[in-house]
Amino acid sequence: MKNRDFDSWLSGFRESIADYGYYINFEKVHRNVDNIKVELNILNSLIGSKNIESDFENLVNKYPEVLKCIPLLLAVRAKEIYAIDSEGEFTYNFKKPNLSVEQYKVFMRKTGLFDLIENHIVNNLVDYATGVETGLDSNGRKNRGGHLMENLVESFIKKAGFIKDKTYFKEMYIHQITEKWNIDLSAISNQGKTEKRFDYVVKTPNMIYGIETNFYGGGGSKLNETARSYKTLALETDTIDGFTFVWFTDGKGWTSARHNLEETFDVMEHIYSIADLESKTINELFEEK
C-alpha cells in the first residue's frame, strides 16, 4: 500500500464529518437550565424593577439560592468569580455566599447584570440562560469532532466483524495491553515511564493493532506536533514484534501541515484516511504489508 501517492491521498481529505448532533447538544443545554429553572424564575421577578438594588437585597435574603444562577448569566461555568478594580479585589462564591449582600450588589451593578434586568433588555431569564448555555455548548464542538472520527472508525471495526471487549477494545493504555497479552511495549513507553493510551486496540490471531484517530477541519500548530509524534511512534513500534501502530486521520486542516504529514506518510505503512476506510475493509487495511 506504500505505492500510494501522497498528493492524491491528501486531495481526498474531507471538509467535515459533522453529523446533526455535532453543532449543539440541546439535551445537555436543557438539562443544565432545568437544574436552575426555579431560581431563574425567582430572579425573573426583578425584571423591570424600579428599585432593583433593594429588591435584589430582599430577594437574596429570602432566597439565597438564587445566587447560584449568576455565573451562568455571565456565561461562566465556575462557582467562583474573581474581580478587581480600584476599590479592591474580591472572589465571589455563588454556591456558598462568602461576602455581604451589599458586595454582591456591587458585583451585579459593575458587571452590568442590574442594567440587563431592570431595563428590560431581557424579558425572561430562563430563555436568556438557554441562549447562554447554547453558546457555551458550542465550545464543545472540538471534542465532539474528535469523537465523530472515533465513532466513524469504530463503525468500520464493527462492520469488519470485531467484537467490543473481545477482539477490539476502546481507550486502552500501554500497561493494559502489556498485561493482557504479555507483550513488551517498553520501546513506546520510555521503559515504562510514559503511559500512552490508544483510542482503540484490535487483536487478530497474529497481531495487536494500536489505533489512533483524529480529524482536523482547521489548521494549527497542533497538527505539526501530532504528525511528528506519530512519526516517532510509528518508528518505535516497528521494532516490536507482534504490535503495529495504525493511524486513521482526515480533514482539510492537514493542508496547512502537509509537509509534516508527508514525512510521517513516507515512513508509516499503516496511515489511512476515510476514503481508505470506505474502499477497503479493516481486515484488508490491517493485513496489507
Task: Show the domains of the chain with their CATH numbers.
Answer: 6-19+140-287 (3.40.1350.10), 26-139 (no CATH)
Quickly state the pLDDT bin for 146 (edges 50, 70, 90).
Answer: confident
Contact 253, 201 (CB under 8 A): no
Quickly state the pLDDT bin for 152 (edges 50, 70, 90).
Answer: very high
Quickly state the pLDDT bin for 142 (edges 50, 70, 90).
Answer: confident
Please provide the average confidence, as pLDDT, over all residues in the chain.
92
Q: What is the per-residue pLDDT for 2?
A: 60
| Percent above pLDDT 90 for the chain | 81
Q: What is the per-residue pLDDT for 101?
A: 96
Q: What are phi and psi of 215, to 5 degrees?
A: -140, 130
Quickly state the pLDDT bin for 21 (edges 50, 70, 90).
Answer: confident
Contact 250, 13 (CB under 8 A): yes
How far does CA 41 lie from the centroid of its chain?
Answer: 32
- Higher pLDDT, residue 144 or 258: 258
Q: What is the per-residue pLDDT for 289?
A: 42
Q: What is the per-residue pLDDT for 3?
A: 76
- Asked if the model's pLDDT at residue 193 lies above 60, the reply is no
- Asked if the model's pLDDT at residue 195 lies above 90, the reply is no
| Residues 81-92 pLDDT 10s | 999 999 899 999
For residue 150, give Cα distances in angstroms to 23, 106, 154, 187, 215. 17, 47, 6, 25, 9
3-state SS of the chain?
A: CCCCCHHHHHHCCCCCCCCCCCCCCHHHHHHHHHCCHHHHHHHHHHCCCCCHHHHHHHHHHHCHHHHHHHHHHCCCCCCEEEEEECCEEEEEECCCCCCCHHHHHHHHHHHCHHHHHHCCCCCCHHHHHHHHHHHHHHHHHHHHHHHHHHHHHHHHHHHCCCCECCCEEEEEEHHHHHHHHCCCCHHHCCCCCCCCEEEEEEECCCCEEEEEEEECCCCCHHHHHHHHHHHHHHHHHCCCCCEEEEEEEECHHHHHHHHHHHHHHHHCCCEECHHHHHHCCHHHHHHCC
Quickly state the pLDDT bin for 147 (edges 50, 70, 90).
Answer: confident
